[in-house]
Amino acid sequence: MANGRRVPVVDHDSQNFWDHLRQGRLSIPRCSACGLYIYYPRSICPRCFSNVLTWVELSGKGTVYSYTVCYRSSDEYWATKLPYVVALIEVENNVRMLSYIDVEPSRMYIGMPVIIRFTPAEGTVFPDFVPISDVFNVE
């Protein structure tokens, strides 16, 4: 646990992803054979099964594809955040990430522009998102 928040289990496939987050970068593997951007990180392309992958950096900007507001949690950490938003975020290159968005639930809408917020906690960094208007004062 990190500040009460569960720490991810890092394996061979996701090591670079978490290392890059600690450096303030969002990156994922891209298949060198067919060009597919791969998320969640894997060591083999799910489309063409090539194992020749290259890590590419993303901007960290995206739009909300869908979301839910959580009103209950059995997890001690998340129970203190109720109600909170979990969203499917469309980032670049048809990649969708499921993530926590630090926002008042009543502000949420489909298509909301968001940006990554690197949230450090005891040796790891979580890829949380916030409304881009909270960072740049624009919509």
112 Cβ contact list (under 8 Å, min separation 6): 63, 64, 131
Q: Residues 120, 11, 101, 60: what is their CA dihedral angle, to the nearest 10 degrees?
A: 80
Min CB(29)–Zn ion separation in Å? 10
38 Cβ contact list (under 8 Å, min separation 6): 28, 29, 30, 31, 45, 46, 53
Q: Does 15 bind Zn ion (CB under 5 A)?
A: no
Q: Site map for Zn ion, 99-118, x if CB under 5 A? A: --------------------
Nearer to Zn ion, 31 or 97 (CB): 31
Q: Does 31 bind Zn ion (CB under 5 A)?
A: yes
Give yes or no for a contact between 18 and 124, defined as CB atoms under 8 angstroms apart: yes
Name the one range near Zn ion by CB under 5 A: 24-32, 83-91, 94-102, 112-120.
Answer: 24-32
Residue 14 Cα to chain centre, angstroms: 13
Nearer to Zn ion, 55 or 118 (CB): 55
Q: Does 47 bind Zn ion (CB under 5 A)?
A: yes
Positions in the binding site for Zn ion (CB under 5 A): 31, 33-34, 36, 45, 47-48, 50
